[in-house]
Amino acid sequence: MSQFDRDRTVVVVSSIKAHRGEPLDDETKQRIYHYLAEPSATGWSDISGIMVNSRMLTLWQAVRKVDPSFPATGRRYELGMGRVMKEWERIPHPELVLKAIEHAQNETRHSAG
CA 32 – CA 48 distance, rounded (Å): 9
Domain count across the chain: 1
> For residue 44, what are the domain limits?
3-112
3-state helix, strand, coil in the chain (%, to 5): 55, 10, 40
**pTM beyond 0.85:** yes
pLDDT of residue 111: 59
Mean pLDDT by 10 residues, the chain (113 residues): 75 89 93 96 96 93 97 88 88 96 84 54
